[in-house]
Amino acid sequence: MASHNFSSHGLNSWLIDSGCTSHMTNFLSIFSSIDKSIQPKVKLGNGDIVQALGKGEISISTKKDMMIVKDVLYIP
């Protein structure tokens, strides 16, 4: 798991869980590419079901280099 400050987008930090079922964010502006036609429903850990409004790629700057995270769901 890695974390990163992302202040340029108003985010305080990122938590990356490489073992999660789906990576998700509610910040549309951070996607480097997104396919808004992909809109799966996602069941959260608390049992709630939410609708994704796209799936794409984001880049995160780490202390060592840029990390590209693919298949990130946009959940507003």
Per-domain boundaries in the chain: 21-74
Question: What pTM was estimated for this model as a whole?
Answer: 0.74
* Whole-angstrom distance, CA of residue 12 vs CA of residue 5: 5
**Residues contacting residue 51 through CB under 8 Å, at least 6 positions apart:** 39, 41, 42, 75
User: 2-55: per-residue pLDDT in tens?
Assistant: 334 444 455 556 666 667 778 899 999 999 999 999 999 998 888 999 999 999
pLDDT of 1 higher than 50: no
User: 56-67: per-residue pLDDT in tens?
Assistant: 999 888 788 888
